[in-house]
Amino acid sequence: GAGVSQSPSNKVTEKGKDVELRCDPISGHTALYWYRQSLGQGLEFLIYFQGNSAPDKSGLPSDRFSAERTGGSVSTLTIQRTQQEDSAVYLCASSFQRTISYNEQFFGPGTRLTVL
């Protein structure tokens, strides 16, 4: 079956512009995650959605970052007024219904964001 897909694969923007990154999880996966990979910080958690529960936004680095998940499927990560330090690869992951005993996460190919 299809894996996690993300779009665009690359995004170059000017400082101060807003960007939207999209993630389509694996069909049937109820949990969706966003992570960020940057040179200085490695791979870090941003946000988590599970079903209809309130998302865990504790990893978002500033209030310029927001994310939503519509219909329990597709998710959009929005960065407002982009800064150069936002340049990174943004990775989306999904997993089957989360249980304590099993929660393997599968990652998409990422969106490489460059802020000039």
Partner 1 sequence: GIQVEQSPPDLILQEGANSTLRCNFSDSVNNLQWFHQNPWGQLINLFYIPSGTKQNGRLSATTVATERYSLLYISSSQTTDSGVYFCAVTALGNNDYKLSFGAGTTVTVRA
Range 97-104, long-range pairs (CB < 8 A, 24+ positions): 97/30, 97/31, 97/51, 98/30, 98/31, 98/50, 103/31
Query: For residue 92, what are its two tokens?
Result: 């989306």
Which residue's entry shows tokens 């512009």? 17
Q: Which residues bind partner 1 (CB under 8 A)?
A: 31, 33, 35, 37, 42-45, 48, 50, 56, 58-59, 89, 91, 93, 95, 98, 100-107, 109-110, 112
The smaller minimum CB distance to partner 1, of residues 48 and 115, is found at 48
Question: Least CB distance from residue 60 to partner 1, whole Å?
Answer: 13
The smaller minimum CB distance to partner 1, of residues 14 and 39, is found at 39
The smaller minimum CB distance to partner 1, of residues 80 and 97, is found at 97
